[in-house]
A and B are shown apart, each in its own frame.
Chain A
Amino acid sequence: MLQFEDRSVELRLGETVLEALERAGIDAPSSCRSGNCQTCLHRVVEGVPPPESQVGLTKGQKALGFFLPCVCLPTSPLRITRPDDVGARRDAVIRAIDPLAPDVIRLRVDADDFAYRPGQFLELVADGDLRRHYSLASHPEDDPFLEMHIRLHENGRMSRRLGEFKPGDRLHVAGPSGTCFYEGVHQDQRLLLIGAGTGLAPLYGVLRDALKRGHLGPIRLYHGARSRDGLYLDEELKALSRTRAHVDYRPCLLDPDAPAGGDVAATALHGEQDVKDSAIFLCGGENLVKRLKRDFFMRGVSMKNIRSDAFTPSG
C-alpha cells in the first residue's frame, strides 16, 4: 500500500502517511500536522495522492506529485520519496559544447528517458562526485538532447571541468527538479519573464513551451547582462519578437550611470507598474531573484503567480 523509496511501510487503518513514516522510524519532518505549514512536504513517484493532501500547493507542485503526508489518508497504493530526492543517476554523453559568449557555453547532452518540463533543472555529475545544478533550455518535444547554458566561473570546479570536456565524453545527470515551468498559467494571461546572465536558459525553455502550447497573452522577456556579449541570444530573440507580434524582447545592458541602478531588476521594476495579473518567472542570481520576488509581491502580485529559480552557488 505504502512504499517509501524502496522499502514498504505498514499503513494502519485511519493513519496518515506522516504517522506511518514516523512509526516506521523514518526521519520525516513535521510541524503543524494539519496541512498548512508545508514542513512535511514529500513527493509521490508512483500512484495518485488524494486531492486533500495537495491543498495549498501550486499547480506545478501538484503536477509533479508533491503532497502533504500529515493530511494524507491514502485510498490507493503510493510510492513516495523525500522532496529533494533527484532519483537515480543516468548516463549522459556530450553531444556538443559551443561558446555563446566569452564566458558562457551551450552544453548539449544525450540522455535516454529523461522526462522534464522546459525550465526545470537537472543535476549534472562529473567524475563521480562533482555535482551542480543547471537549468534546461531545450524542449523535450522538439529537441533530442538536453540543452544547458552555463556561465564559466574563473575558479569554479565544474566550470574548469567543463572547459576540458569534448563531444563524446561521458557524464551523469539526475533529476529533473524545480517548479519554474509553464503550468497553471492562463492562455491569455500576461507573461513576464525576467532573468540575468544564464538565467535566460530556463526562461528560454519556458518561452518556447508557452508558444508551443499556444499562449495568446502578451509575453515580455527581459534579459540582463553586464556587456553586449552577455546578451547571448540577442539575434535569435530579436528575430522571434519580429515574427511573433505578442512577444516583446527587452535586452538590458548594465548601465551603472542610470539613476535607478541600471540593472535588469531596476529596469523591469520601472517598466512594469501594472503587474497584478501577470504570470511572472524570475531566474538568475540570488539577489536579483529575491529582490524582484519581494517587490512584485509587495506590489500586489500573488505568490501563486510568481515562479522563480535562484542560481545559488553550491556548498
Chain B
Amino acid sequence: MPNLYERLGGENAVNAAVELFYRKVLADGRIAQFFDGVDIDQQIAKQKSFLTMAFGGPNNYTGADMRNAHKRLVAKGLNDSHVDAVIENLNYTLRDLGVPEKEVKEVAAIANSVRDDVLNR
C-alpha cells in the first residue's frame, strides 16, 4: 500500500494545494494577522514545507524546529483556536481538490500531532 504522501500525489499535490491553501489562510480573519508583513513569495515556500510535512512527505523537521518556527507567533498570542483554524483551512483545501475523506482525516491527524510543539508547550 503506497504511503499517504504517495496516495495524495506527492510534490504535485503540494504544488496544487499551496496557493489555494494560502488564499484561504489570508482570507481567514482569525489567523491572517500571523502571516502579515511577510512577503507572499517567501510565505508560499514556507507553506510548501508545512504541506509536505502534513501530507506525510519527506522532511527533516524536528519538534525543536517546529518550536522555533512558531516561537515568535506564540509570543503574539498563538493558541489552540488558531491551530484549529489552520487545520480547518487545510481540510477545506483538500476537499476542494477532491481528496477522499479518509486522506483528509489522515492529514489533519498529522498536523494535529505537532500541536504541542507549534504552541511551544
B30 within 8 A of A: no
Contact B26 A32 (CB under 8 A): no
Total number of residue pairs linking A and B with CB closer than 8 Å: 46
Contact A36 B23 (CB under 8 A): no
B1 within 8 A of A: no
Residues in A with CB closer than 8 Å to B60 are: 32-34
Residues in B with CB closer than 8 Å to A34 are: 49, 52, 58-60
A240 within 8 A of B: no
B45 within 8 A of A: yes
Contact A297 B23 (CB under 8 A): yes
Contact A36 B44 (CB under 8 A): no
Interface residues on B, range: 20 to 34
B117 within 8 A of A: no
Contact with A along B30-67 (1 / 0, CB 8 A): 00000000001110111011001000001111000100
Which A residue sits closest to B52, measured CB to CB? A36
Q: What is the CA–CA distance of A306 and B47 in the complex, to the nearest angstrom? A: 18
Contact B49 A293 (CB under 8 A): no
Residues in B with CB closer than 8 Å to A287 are: none
A37 within 8 A of B: yes
Shortest beta-carbon distance from B68 to chain A in Å: 9
Residues of B near any A CB (own CB < 8 A)? 11, 14-15, 19, 23, 26-27, 40-42, 44-46, 48-49, 52, 58-61, 65, 69
A-B contact pairs, 18 of them (CB 8 A): A31-B49, A31-B69, A32-B49, A32-B52, A32-B59, A34-B60, A36-B49, A37-B46, A37-B48, A38-B42, A38-B45, A56-B15, A56-B45, A297-B19, A298-B26, A300-B23, A303-B40, A303-B41
